[in-house]
Amino acid sequence: MKVNYATSNNMSLRSHLKRLNLLYNRTAHNLVLPIVTTTTLGASALKKVAPWLTAALGIVPQPSVICPIHILFVVVLLIIMATVYLSLHRRAVYLVDYACFRPSSNLRLTKATFLEHARLSPLFDDSTVNFIATILERSGMSDHTCAPPVHHYIHPYCGLDEARAEVELVVFSVIDDLMAKTHINCGAIGALITNCSAFSPVPSMADMIVNRYKLRGDLRVINLSGMACSAAVTSVGLASNMLQVMPWGSHVLVVSTETIGPSYYGGNKRSMQLVNILFRIGGAAKLLSTSRSMARFRLGHFTRTITAANNAAYQCVYQEEDDKGNLGIALSKDLMDVAKDALEANIMTTGPLVLPASELLKILFFYVAKKVLRWRTIRPYIPNFSVAFEHFCIHVGGPAVITSVQHGLNLSDRHVEPSKMTLHRFGNQSTSSVWYELSYIEAKGWMKKGNRVWMIGFGAGYECNTVGWVCIQPSSGMDGPWVSCIHRYPVDVSKNG
C-alpha cells in the first residue's frame, strides 16, 4: 500500500497551525487584549496627572529625579501582574438553592405490597421471591418509600410514554419548586446540565426541559447518561468548570434524577434483582452561579476518581442481558471492595485540599513509620475528616455501603444519620440521594453559617466523586421533602438494616 507522505505532512502541518491559532486566540483574548486595554487606559490617565506629579516631586527634595516614564513602567508592570492573576485565578462558584422531589402518598410502595406482587408475578420463581424477601428485610427501608406508577402493577410494563411521564412528573416538579424558591427568570439561565443513567430519549431530557420552560436559544446544554449514582456530584464539577468561561454572574441549572421504570428487571438472576428492590423514585434540581447574591452555599472542592481502567471495577455495575434475554443492571459481588478502593484513591487527592496541617503530619508520620522504618505492626492512620467537615452526605447505596464508609472514615452515628434516614424514608434514589441528605440536615436545624458539608457519590464506571460545600446562609424556612415527616426522625434501623 502506498502512502502519500506529502498529504500526510500537509495534514499534520494544518493540525499544528490550527492548534497554534487556537492558542493565539486564547492568549490574545485572556491576556494580551486585557493588558493592552488597561495599559492604554493607564497611560492616558498618567498623561493627565503627569504635570501634577512632576510639580509634586519638585517640591520634595529627592536624591534622584523620578521621571513620569518610571511611574508608567511601574503602573504597566502592576497591570500585567493583576491581569495574569485574574486570568488564571478560578472564580468562586455558589449554590443559589436546590429543590428535591416530594412524591405524593399515592406512589407509596410498601415492602409487603412489593413482596406480594413478586409472589403473584409469573416472572419470578420461588427462590427469587425468597431472595427478595431477605433483601427487603435487610434493606434499611421503611414502608413509606415511593415508586413510579408502572411499578405498582403485578407485571410492570414501561414503554416510552410511561418513561417520559415519569421524567415529567419528577423533573418538572423539582424545577417548579426551585424557580419558586429562587424567583429566577428563565432567561437568566445560561446553561443546563441533566443526568439520568438508564433512560436517554430522543429528544433528550434537556430538550424536554427547554421546551417546557422556553429557555434561551443560545443555552449551553449537556445531557449525561450511563453514569449511575455519582452523576449528580459529577454535574456539579462540570457546572463549576462551565461557569469559569461564562460571563460573570451566569447561572447553570443542574437536574439530577433516575428514571427507574425502564430499568425494571423481569428475570431470576439475583445480582440483577437488587436494582428492583432498592431503587425508588426521586430527583433534585440545583441552581449554581458565580454571583454570591442570594447564594446559600459556596463550592469548596470537587474531586473525581475513575477506576474504569480496571476490569473488575468497570464491570461491577454493568447493564447486560441474562441467559433468557432479560435486560437489567447487574451488581457484582466485588462491589464493596471496588467502592473501598475508589474511596481511598479519592481521599488521597481530597485530603491535602481539606485537612488541616496537623492531620497531614500524622498521615506522613504513619507512612514513614510503615514504609521507611518498616514497622509492619503499625496500622494505617485514618484521617479525622470531622475536623474538616461538620456534615456528611454519603450515597445511600444500602446499609452495607453506609456502614463501610462510616468505619472507613471513622465517623460517628450522628455523621451518618442523614444517609441512613434518607435510605429509610426514600430508598436509594440514585443520583439525587445526597441532596435529600442535605435537606435532612437543614430540616433538623443542624446547618449553621460557616458549616462545611462533604458529599460522597459512588457510581458505575466505577467512580467515586466528592464535593465540598460551605454554608453561607442556612435555610430560613421549613420546606423540602422532609417537611411532613421530620418530626418522626431519627428512627432505629438496626433491626431491619
Q: What is the DSSP string of 337-362?
A: HHHHHHHHHHHHHHHHHHS-HHHHHH
**In contact, 167 and 211? CB cutoff 8 Å:** no
Superfamily name and number for 94-353+382-488: Thiolase/Chalcone synthase (3.40.47.10)
List, in sequence order, every beta strand (DSSP E) within 155-237: 189-195, 220-224
Amino acid at 371: K
Prediction pTM value? 0.82
Name the nearest CA neighbour of 50 among 60, 58, 38. Answer: 58
Q: CA-to-CA distance for 436 and 421, rounded, in angstroms?
A: 10
Q: How much is the pLDDT for 2?
A: 42
Q: How much is the pLDDT for 454?
A: 97
Q: How much is the pLDDT for 26?
A: 45
Query: Any residues with CB less than 8 A from the CB of 214 and at least 6 apart, and which?
Result: 186
Domain boundaries, the chain: 5-88, 94-353+382-488
By CB atoms closer than 10 A (0-12, 13-18, 19+), residue 334 is middle
Q: What is the DSSP string of 37-103?
A: HHHHHHHHHHHHHHHHHHHHHHHS--SS---HHHHHHHHHHHHHHHHHHHHHSPPP-EEEEEEE---
Q: How much is the pLDDT for 384?
A: 87
CA 134 to chain centre: 32
Name the nearest CA neighbour of 136 among 122, 150, 116. Answer: 116
Q: How much is the pLDDT for 27?
A: 46
pLDDT under 50: residue ranges of the chain? 1-9, 11, 15, 18-20, 22-31, 57, 59-63, 497
Name the nearest CA neighbour of 423 among 409, 437, 441. Answer: 437
Q: CA-to-CA distance for 135 and 428, rounded, in angstroms?
A: 13
Q: How much is the pLDDT for 497?
A: 44
Q: How much is the pLDDT for 368?
A: 77
* Helix (H) or strand (E) segment spanning residue 467: strand 463-471
By CB atoms closer than 10 A (0-12, 13-18, 19+), residue 160 is exposed
